[in-house]
Chains A and B, each alone.
Chain A
Amino acid sequence: MEASSKFIARTALAGWLGELSARFRVWAPRREGRAVLYRPFDPQAPEDNLPELDKKPTESAKHIIFPRSEPLINFRRKRDPEHPGQFLLDLRVPEAPGPSLIFGLPPCDARGFMVFDPVYNGSGTDGQARDIYYLRRRAAALLIVRSCSRTLSTCFCNWVGGAPDSAEGADILASEAEDGFLLEPVSSEGAAALDSGLLVPADENRLKAAQAARDEAKKTLKPAPDISGAGKALLERFEDAAFWKGEAAHCLSCGICTFLCPTCYCFNVTDETAGANGVRLRSWDACMTPLFTLEASGHNPRQDKAARLKNRIGHKFSYYPELHEARFACVGCGRCIKSCPSGVDIRRIVTDSVGLTQSPKPKAAPRNIPGGKE
């Protein structure tokens, strides 16, 4: 594959993304105020929306393949001409969207989709029931991952099988190389996308420069602790109410961690209507909120926030790996740590559970915050 690696100058980037826009709906991270968000790339004004590649995106890329809210079925009630007073149902499934391309996502975001994949491809029903909405977007999407030249203090991809230059799940791996990017094809579709007059073959110097930058980035991550025993340790901790109460003491049940997470894949289904027309929507949901499991009888198997946090961590480090070849359902992107308003740190909970660390007993939960007390 090395032979077909290409180089693109920074100055040519917008032009190339413009070219790709003819075949794909192109998405790239863009700076908006203090946040970096994935936005559609506008080929009409390419220079005005150059991708932000230095700062890590605040949100994950999952909404491009798994929208925050998407119509599953459009429905319409029609009067039955043969039986007055009765209605017929007309159900329509929205057309598949065209192919998309995500440029500049960090390796952890690409690996996040790999956590979705088996579940949405019907692993639970031996392939009997597959999520066509996810799959049709996923199969048609091209991922151009950019390796990280810098890491954040919250990054811990190396704990969970990732790396700042991991190509897992990518179609093309882009790495900073001086005045531009080295582009290495990972899949055949990725190789095809590198067929452009704006790209030049990568020379030895740039290959070396890119490799050096990647090695440098790797060194900035602290060594990973051994958390291979987390699955078992978390199960053993299941009944340890004091442990979970302590870990969850400051959690506000706001759900930010789940919405920003590239691997949190739970959803809700709701209907909306206007007159005789309506739509059945599927929308992101968060297991951190009490409504998630509330049953019609009033019974709630996860009544308190400790039980909910326990499920979130348990799912990622114990239940999911148990079902999916020991792969953790966390890619170590650190967003849930960085954006949690009350400092809940998933790394700490995992190392506490395996006994590598022992978090001090938390002080009383902060007052005057809704949900801060329970």
Chain B
Amino acid sequence: MPELALKPAFNPSTPNPYLPQVATVLEVIQETHNIRSFRVRLDDEQAWASFSFEPGQLGQLSLFGVGEATFVINSPPTCKAYLQFSVMRAGEVTTALHGLQAGDKIGLRAPLGNSFPYNDLKGKNVIFIGGGIGMAPMRTLLLYMLDNRRDYGDISLLYGARTPQDLSFAYDRADWLGREDMRTVLTIDAPAEGWEHKVGLIPNVLTEMAPSPENAVAVTCGPPIMIKFTLQALGKLGFKPEQILTTLEKRMKCGIGICGRCNIGEKYVCIDGPVFTYAQLQTMVNEL
């Protein structure tokens, strides 16, 4: 037993981690039939000027009277004009968020959680594999790397969705497809009129692309079933578990490791994650 510990002290100037900052919605972008992006900015000028985050970190968006929900900040830290969140309509809070218009006030608690190891990725070839809303968490890292292009090796992106209409970030895609310094492959599940890109499930297209595991890291986010087969495909291509990064989701509440909701064994997705390597996942209890 540890020795007789004293009760914790309370310093009245301790910041309140549950109190959101008030932010204003600057712009709403309809990405797909069920995904909207919100560009927001903190109202408090001083707080906004000193706000910083790292790619992969989370924000809790609050609609008072409805609740809070967790989203990845998907704009890059290099963007100083706003923070972008892309929200797929799934339930109560997300549906209410979809009702927001420019000028509306929301609450924001951010940044929370860990981040992509963007420094360790320097000099490496990075392949992004995203499905559906899974593109959102990767977007922040991809844009950050493109803003610091010289620090990284080859960059490739495989981004898929069910249909062409389910692909988000049209404003980025044109740029990504046109760039010489990255390779972009888009895919949809079944043929569609006017579609000029790949047709096929993400793991199959990935196998076809056959990225080399040499000095490479794969970043993959998407629905669980896609992740499962993508991990298998990466394994066959020779990627080791340490070379694969992904983000996890859990039903979260506090976002600060207290409410006890998001644990996987002794790990908490809100503070130890959302970013994990596949090697880390293998050491955790099997309860995804």
Residues of A participating in the B interface, judged by any CB pair closer than 8 Å: 72-73, 75, 77, 83, 86-89, 91, 93, 96, 113-114, 117, 119-125, 128-133, 135-136, 138-141, 161, 167-169, 187, 235, 238-239, 265-271, 273, 278, 280, 282, 285, 287, 292-297, 299, 301-302, 307, 311, 314-315, 318-320, 322-323, 325-327
* Chain B residues closer than 8 Å to A77, beta-carbon distance: 64-65
- The reply to whether B6 and A269 contact each other, CB–CB distance below 8 Å, is no
Given contacts A114-B5, A287-B260, is CB(A269)–CB(B253) below 8 Å?
Answer: yes
- The reply to whether B65 and A296 contact each other, CB–CB distance below 8 Å, is no
- The reply to whether B286 and A132 contact each other, CB–CB distance below 8 Å, is no
Query: B8-28 interface mask toward A, CB cutoff 8 Å, 1 = contact, 0 = none?
Result: 111010111111101000000
- The reply to whether B20 and A91 contact each other, CB–CB distance below 8 Å, is yes
A293 partner, pick from B251, B258, B268, beta carbons under 8 A: B251
User: Across the two chains, which residue of chain A brings its CB closest to B88?
Assistant: A296
Indicate whether B98 reaches chain A with its CB closer than 8 angstroms: no
Query: Which residues 240-277 in B have Cβ within 8 Å of A in the complex?
Result: 249-251, 253-254, 256-261, 263-266, 268, 271
- The reply to whether A269 and B285 contact each other, CB–CB distance below 8 Å, is no
Q: Tell which of B18, B254, B258 has the most Cβ of chain A within 10 Å.
A: B258
User: Across the two chains, which residue of chain A brings its CB closest to B10?
Assistant: A139
CB-defined A-B contacts under 8 Å, sample of 19: A73-B64, A113-B7, A119-B258, A119-B260, A120-B8, A122-B256, A125-B271, A138-B7, A140-B10, A167-B4, A235-B265, A238-B286, A265-B258, A269-B68, A269-B253, A293-B251, A299-B224, A323-B266, A327-B2
CB distance from B133 to the nearest CB of A (A): 10
B271 partner, pick from A72, A124, A301, A315, beta carbons under 8 A: A124
* Chain A residues closer than 8 Å to B14, beta-carbon distance: 130, 132, 135
* Chain B residues closer than 8 Å to A278, beta-carbon distance: 64-65
Q: Which 7 A-B residue pairings sit nearest by Cβ, starting from the closest?
A: A124-B257, A266-B260, A296-B90, A139-B10, A319-B266, A129-B256, A129-B17
Which one of B103-111, B172-180, B181-189, B190-198 contacts A? B103-111
* Chain B residues closer than 8 Å to A302, beta-carbon distance: 287
CB distance from B274 to the nearest CB of A (A): 13
* Chain A residues closer than 8 Å to B268, beta-carbon distance: 124
User: Across the two chains, which residue of chain A brings its CB closest to B104?
Assistant: A86
- The reply to whether A235 and B285 contact each other, CB–CB distance below 8 Å, is yes
Residues of B participating in the A interface, judged by any CB pair closer than 8 Å: 1-2, 4-10, 12, 14-20, 22, 64-68, 90-91, 94, 103-105, 107, 223-224, 249-251, 253-254, 256-261, 263-266, 268, 271, 285-288
User: In the bound complex, what is the Cα–Cα distance between A254 and B5 (angstroms)?
Assistant: 34
Given contacts A169-B7, A238-B285, A271-B66, is CB(A131)–CB(B258) below 8 Å?
Answer: yes
A265 partner, pick from B7, B10, B260, beta carbons under 8 A: B260
* Chain B residues closer than 8 Å to A307, beta-carbon distance: 287
User: In the bound complex, what is the Cα–Cα distance between A149 and B261 (angstroms)?
Assistant: 38
User: Across the two chains, which residue of chain A brings its CB closest to B18?
Assistant: A72
User: Across the two chains, which residue of chain B brings its CB closest to A238?
Assistant: B285
- The reply to whether B9 and A139 contact each other, CB–CB distance below 8 Å, is yes
User: Across the two chains, which residue of chain A brings its CB closest to B90?
Assistant: A296
User: Across the two chains, which residue of chain A brings its CB closest to B6?
Assistant: A187
* Chain A residues closer than 8 Å to B10, beta-carbon distance: 132, 135-136, 138-140
Given contacts A293-B251, A294-B251, A295-B251, is CB(A271)–CB(B260) below 8 Å?
Answer: no
B8 partner, pick from A87, A139, A235, beta carbons under 8 A: A139
- The reply to whether A138 and B64 contact each other, CB–CB distance below 8 Å, is no
- The reply to whether A117 and B7 contact each other, CB–CB distance below 8 Å, is yes
Given contacts A93-B19, A278-B64, is CB(A319)–CB(B265) below 8 Å?
Answer: yes
Given contacts A238-B286, A297-B90, is CB(A280)–CB(B64) below 8 Å?
Answer: yes
User: In the bound complex, what is the Cα–Cα distance between A96 and B20 (angstroms)?
Assistant: 19
Given contacts A125-B256, A296-B90, A296-B94, is CB(A91)–CB(B19) below 8 Å?
Answer: yes
* Chain B residues closer than 8 Å to A130, beta-carbon distance: 14, 17
User: Across the two chains, which residue of chain B brings its CB closest to A138?
Assistant: B7
CB distance from A42 to the nearest CB of B (A): 27
- The reply to whether B19 and A73 contact each other, CB–CB distance below 8 Å, is yes
User: In the bound complex, what is the Cα–Cα distance between A68 and B64 (angstroms)?
Assistant: 21
User: Across the two chains, which residue of chain B brings its CB closest to A187?
Assistant: B6
User: In the bound complex, what is the Cα–Cα distance between A138 and B14 (angstroms)?
Assistant: 14
* Chain A residues closer than 8 Å to B103, beta-carbon distance: 83, 86
- The reply to whether B266 and A268 contact each other, CB–CB distance below 8 Å, is no
User: Across the two chains, which residue of chain B brings its CB closest to A74?
Assistant: B64
CB distance from B10 to the nearest CB of A (A): 4
A270 partner, pick from B15, B20, B67, B94, beta carbons under 8 A: B67
- The reply to whether A132 and B8 contact each other, CB–CB distance below 8 Å, is no
* Chain A residues closer than 8 Å to B65, beta-carbon distance: 75, 77, 271, 273, 278
- The reply to whether A301 and B250 contact each other, CB–CB distance below 8 Å, is yes
CB distance from B5 to the nearest CB of A (A): 6
* Chain B residues closer than 8 Å to A319, beta-carbon distance: 263, 265-266
CB distance from A181 to the nearest CB of B (A): 22
A93 partner, pick from B16, B250, B257, B263, beta carbons under 8 A: B16
* Chain A residues closer than 8 Å to B15, beta-carbon distance: 132
User: In the bound complex, what is the Cα–Cα distance between A318 and B267 (angstroms)?
Assistant: 12
- The reply to whether B260 and A267 contact each other, CB–CB distance below 8 Å, is yes
Q: Tell which of A89, A141, A169 has the most Cβ of chain B within 10 Å.
A: A89
- Apart from A136-B10, A294-B251, A318-B266, 9 more pairs, CB < 8 Å: A77-B65, A122-B257, A130-B17, A187-B6, A273-B64, A295-B250, A297-B223, A301-B264, A326-B2
Q: Tell which of B14, B20, B264 has the most Cβ of chain A within 10 Å.
A: B14
* Chain A residues closer than 8 Å to B2, beta-carbon distance: 325-327
* Chain A residues closer than 8 Å to B6, beta-carbon distance: 187
A268 partner, pick from B4, B90, B253, beta carbons under 8 A: B253
User: In the bound complex, what is the Cα–Cα distance between A91 and B63 (angstroms)?
Assistant: 12
User: In the bound complex, what is the Cα–Cα distance between A302 and B12 (angstroms)?
Assistant: 38
